Structure formats: structure tokens, C-alpha cells
Structure 1
Amino acid sequence: MTKNAGLRVRRRTMLALGAALALPGGAAWAQQPQAGTAFPSRVIRIVPFGTAGGPIDAIARVYADRLQQRWGQSIIVDAKPGASGIIAADAVAKAAPDGHTVMVTLPLTHINNAILQPKLPYDPVKDFEPISQLALGGPMLVARADAPYSNLQEFVAFARQKKNLTYGTWGNGSAAHLMGELLKRQTGVALIHVPYKAEAAAHNDLFGGQLDFAWANPATARAQVQGGRMKVLGIASSARVSALPDVKTFAEQGFAGFDLDSWIGVYAPAKTPAPVLQKWNEALREITKMPEVREKLASFGFEPLGNTAAQFKASYAADYPRVAELIKAAGVTLD
């Protein structure tokens, strides 16, 4: 082969390689020689459970600010409310599995919905990678500040006299819904569940007199108690919370079975590379240890946790049968 012929062959080879890299598959191969090494390489999207401005959205923003400082990459918090978190979870399940989209959520989307919903557009196990549980908490039973009862025993006595009291929650199958129906079963009082798309909407109707009582996240309850509009009758969790340390648990007031803690968990789409998941986990755990973040979580009524992915999986495996048993005991359906 002549020298000029050899040059022409090498030139054609380089042109062919350039053309291959210009194709979508070639571009992805060129940009990602090793999975996870380029993360983060673009804007990160965090999808929180619930509405914009709600407790989980607010907590997601606390982490987003610190992740942005840590990684030097823009982060947007993109709430997708509705359908008991199904819309948000489905969006994350179908996102590119590269770590640039994650979900911050409650057990409702991955446990309660899986038990109660006959058909979900996503598989809560197969379509997600658990990253970390940020914190633990529980819903609070609340009433207007002028309600003629101040604890669970007084409330039950009142409910037996009045009958058919209505209560509001942030959705069918939510922890608040389960606890409300369990209370109904245990005491024999007639209670009517009224689901809302957002906690704030239920509280507006509570203050307006359209509801007799409601459930609230500790952060919301704390703000409304301080504002003189609400009183808290009890918290459905295994322990009191630092946000409202004087509020007794249901167990302390003689009501058993209300000790299933809720949690805030972070998920990525399935098949997200292991190095990226590890980077997320390390960042979230370190941020959760920050004093100002722990204080912020406590102000929202959640006790900081920040565990490993393996611990998250173990917690999920333990919670699933307990929630299923509770749903059965409470007689909760979505009909």
C-alpha cells in the first residue's frame, strides 16, 4: 500500500468513527465511558410527594439547596401532585436512570398504594432504587381550637354522642386515612372519611366548619397551634416528636396499634448506576447530619435518620406486611 493510500484509509476510518459518534448511541457511548463517573452532568430534578409548598416539598428544597452547593449543579424541585402520589411516582419511574431525577416521598406511594391499588402504572419495587430514608414521623389528630375536647378519650366520648363525624386527610390510603379507620374500628364510633388532594385544603374546611376534625403533619399542626387555630389530640407514631413534645402518642392515651412510623424516603429510577446511587446516599447522609438540617427536620415534626440503601430496603421489607395488616384491620378500601 502506498503512503497516500494509507493516509486515505486512515482518513476514511476517522470519518466513519466520527459519524458513529454523531449517532445517539455513539454519543451516549462517547460521553459515558464509565457509568456514574460523569454525574452530575446536567440539571437535577427532585420530585417531591404532594403539592408545592407542602411539608415534603419544603424538606426537598432544604436538601436541594445543600446538594446544589455540594455538586455545583442546578437543582429544581418539581412537584407533581394528585392521585395519592401516583403521578409523581410514575414520572420518576419512567425517568432516565442516570441519577438526574429522584423522588422524595412517603410510604403511601410505595407501600399503601401497592396494597390498595389493583393497577399501578409503576412497580414500587422493580421500578425504583431506594437511596435513603431521611427522617421518621407520624400524623397528628387535630381539631379546631374551640373544639369541646382536648384529648383522645374526650374526643371519642364526644364522637359517640354526635355520630357521623367527618374527618379530612391528604388522600385515600394515606397513613392518616389508615389511622382514622383504625380509630373507627377500635372505638366503634361513626366516622366519615373525606379525602383531599392536599393537607391545606382539608384544614381550610376544618376551620370553615365543613369538617369535624382532621389529620395533620406535625409541622402544620405546630404552626396552626401557635397561631391559635388548632389543637392536637394525639400523634400516631411510636414516640413523641420534638416539634410538639407535649403531644402524647395514641399508645400513651390507651390506644394500641397506632405506632407505625411514617418516613421520608428518596428513590431513583431502577437501573441507576451503583456509583451514582452511592454518591447520592453519601451526600444525603452527610446533609442529614448537619445541625441546621436536623433542626429543620425537627421543626417539620420529623426525627432525622439518614440511613443506607440496605437499611432502607430492610425497613421497607418490615413495613410492608405491617401496613397490609393495618389496612386489613382498619377495613380500608378505595371504593
Structure 2
Amino acid sequence: MKIKVCIHAVIGMSLLCSAGVASAQAYPNKPITLIAPFAPGASADGVARLIARQLSQSLGQTVIVENRAGAGGTTGLIALAHAKPDGYTLGIGATGAISVNRHLPDAAPLNPDTQLSAVSKVADIPLVLVASGKSGLKSLKEVITASHQPGGLSYGTSGQFTSHHLAGELFASQAKADMVSVAYRGSAPALTDVMAGQIPLAIVDLTSAIGAIKAGKVTALAVTGARRALDAPTVPTIAESGFPEYSAGGWLGVFAPAKTPDDIVNKVSSQLKTILADPKVKSEFSTLAVEPAYLGPKEFSAYINEETQKWGGVVKAVGAM
């Protein structure tokens, strides 16, 4: 009897393993929906459409982009969390919706840790600190000195608790600078006021600022990421400018509903790794002023944990918690 039980157990395990291999081989056998929680036309939406087109080719099935904007990128991810975990609904998540919004008192009902599966990080979104020509500010050292004047130094952002705003708060904390954020509805209006001299500084995405920087309408003081931006290689990082522990910026990743089978997650992630290494894809990313940045499921999950802890501390220091 014991021998029969053992034989049955071995057969059962073999069937389970075969089923797992079969599911990976069979996937996908119908169209996939990629939820983009952004408005059509945004650079992040452009990334979603580029990823969808490339995945369609590599997986041999149509990948359809479905825009579901709202709640700072959270609305679409809530829809993703409630989708069937079979790999046929994926979504794009950004820094705010994944690592920042959960720390806010009026956060939407989404817990990325338990409701989503991280598939791959796909892109970094460079942010840049720019100064008005009328401000006379030419370096971070001058910014810090000017911030110690009565009233501090104001800087524009794309909105309260966006990655732009929190990048500024993190810098102010590390530099012991007195800086006051001014929330705008996006990078474009903040940049407009900097060019007009209405505010001395702004932290904006490089997508919005690169034209004004090249035209000499604003001065790029530093980028906020861990490395120099590909589209602005002469602009130093804040870390290079005397704050080695500093790193901030936006990022985008692909997610699936929680409990999506590992073999499916790994298959999609493997395809994305190949896609992001393609020179033609890198060139297309550059036109969107974002940079390909691949991390696999485990590495991406660890990265999200680090980002969540970091931004939670900044949000708390700002006083939102």
C-alpha cells in the first residue's frame, strides 16, 4: 500500500509539473489587455503603447492598451487588481501610485504588495532642477545659500506629493535648505513660470524641459536620478554635486494581478528584458524622454520595497501622515 501511495504521489507531482510547463507554453493564446492608468498622450501612455506593440510581436498575440486614468494613476491599477490572474490583463504602474500614494491619508483603496504582482521595471523618468535666468542661480551651492534668506526659496512642481515635489523635499532635507514648494497642474505650467521669472526654480520632468534647456531659456542645475540622463549628459546629478546619498525620480513598471502564475510572470518579464535591450526600442524610448531600465520580478519587488520606505519617510516628514 505504501508503495502505491508513493507511486501515486510521484505521478501527481509529475502531472502538476507538466501542467505548469503546459500553461507557460500555451500562454498566450488570446489577446492581452494592458491597462495604462494615464491619459492618452502622456509620455507614460507612450511607453505603455510602445511596450504593447513590442509584446504583441514577441508573444504573437495582440496586446491592447486600455486607458483608465484617475486618482494619480491608481484607478487603473485597482481595476488591474480585480482582474482575473491569468496573464491576460497586465498594467503599467508608476512611482506615485505604487510607492507614494499608499502613505497619504486619502489614499485610494489599493495595496500593491498584496493585490499586484511585480513583473518588470521598464523605465526611468528623469527629473531635472531648472532655474530661471532672472534668478541668477547657477549651482546647487547658490540655491542652498539663497534658500537661507528670509522666506526661503520657492520651487515649482507638477503637484503636491508627486515625484517632483518629493524629490524637492528630499533634497531640501539632505541639503538643510529652506525651500517652499509651489504646486502646479503639471510640469508645463511650472516650467512656463520659471521661464517668465515668476518663480526662481522648478523640478520638472526632462521631457518638458529639454527644449527650454537647449534653447537657453532655463538653466539646468542638476538631474535627480542616480546617474546622468542620456538626453542631458552634461548636466550633473545632485549626488555628484555634493549629496552622494541622494537619488530620486520617476519610474514605470509592468504589473499583473496578485496570484498570477509565476511561469506566466517570468515569461512576460523575459520578453520585456529582450525588448528593452533592443537598440531600436531604446531609440524610441529616447523620443519620449524616458530611459529603459529593466529589473526582473524579484529585483523589481525589492526595489519597490526600498522606494516605498524612502518615500514614506519623506511624506511623513512633509506632514501628510
TM value normalised by structure 2: 0.79
Instruction: Answer whether contact 1:131 1:309 (CA < 8 A) is retained.
Output: yes
Letter in 2 for 1:229: K
Q: Deviations over 1:184-215 (max 9, x none)?
A: 3433424133153x333433454455544322
**Inter-CA distance 177–286: structure 2 relative to 1 (3 Å threshold):** same
Residue 108 of structure 1 corresponds to: 96
Provide the secondary structure at the position in 2 that maps to 1:78.
strand
Please, which of 60, 66, 76 is the counterpart of residue 64 of structure 2?
76
Please, which of 243, 256, 261 is the counterpart of residue 231 of structure 2?
243
Q: Does residue 1:172 correspond to 2:154, yes or no? A: no
* Structure 2 gap ranges (5+): 1-21
Q: Deviations over 1:139-169 (max 9, x none)?
A: 2112345542222222333444473544332
Instruction: Answer whether contact 1:173 1:334 (CA < 8 A) is retained.
Output: no
Residue 246 of structure 2 corresponds to: 258
Instruction: Answer whether contact 1:219 1:243 (CA < 8 A) is retained.
Output: no
Q: Does residue 1:60 correspond to 2:51, yes or no? A: no
**Inter-CA distance 184–278: structure 2 relative to 1 (3 Å threshold):** closer
User: What does 1:267-282 align with in structure 2 at a 5 Å threshold?
Assistant: 267-282=255-270
Q: Does residue 1:307 correspond to 2:312, yes or no? A: no
* Structure 1 gap ranges (5+): 1-33
- Greater Rg, structure 1 or structure 2? 1
Residue 31 of structure 2 corresponds to: 42
Provide the secondary structure at the position in 2 that maps to 1:251.
coil
Instruction: Answer whether contact 1:47 1:92 (CA < 8 A) is retained.
Output: no
Residue 86 of structure 1 corresponds to: 74
Letter in 2 for 1:278: N
Residue 120 of structure 1 corresponds to: 108
How far is 1:56 from its partner? 1.6
Q: Deviations over 1:239-263 (max 9, x none)?
A: 2122111111112222354224543
Instruction: Answer whether contact 2:163 2:249 (CA < 8 A) is retained.
Output: no
How far is 1:270 from its partner? 1.4
**Inter-CA distance 210–91: structure 2 relative to 1 (3 Å threshold):** farther
**Inter-CA distance 293–319: structure 2 relative to 1 (3 Å threshold):** same
Residue 12 of structure 2 corresponds to: none
Letter in 2 for 1:64: A
Instruction: Answer whether contact 1:172 1:334 (CA < 8 A) is retained.
Output: no
Seq. identity, %: 28
Provide the secondary structure at the position in 2 that maps to 1:125.
helix
Q: Does residue 1:230 correspond to 2:201, yes or no? A: no
Letter in 2 for 1:333: G
Residue 324 of structure 1 corresponds to: 312
Provide the secondary structure at the position in 1 that maps to 2:54.
helix
For 1:71 and 1:56, the matched residues in 2 are separated by: 22
Alignment root-mean-square deviation, CA: 2.9
For 1:152 and 1:91, the matched residues in 2 are separated by: 42
User: What does 1:170-249 align with in structure 2 at a 5 Å threshold?
Assistant: 170-185=158-173, 186-196=175-185, 198-207=186-195, 211-249=199-237
Residue 5 of structure 1 corresponds to: none
Q: Does residue 1:291 correspond to 2:306, yes or no? A: no
How far is 1:86 from its partner? 2.0
Provide the secondary structure at the position in 2 that maps to 1:70.
helix
For 2:90 and 2:215, the matched residues in 1 are separated by: 34
The aligned length equals 298
Provide the secondary structure at the position in 1 that maps to 2:295.
coil
Provide the secondary structure at the position in 1 that maps to 2:114.
coil
For 2:162 and 2:108, the matched residues in 1 are separated by: 16
**Inter-CA distance 211–285: structure 2 relative to 1 (3 Å threshold):** same
For 1:86 and 1:326, the matched residues in 2 are separated by: 20
Q: Deviations over 1:44-95 (max 9, x none)?
A: 23314x4332222222222222222334443333343343222232222223
How far is 1:172 from its partner? 3.0
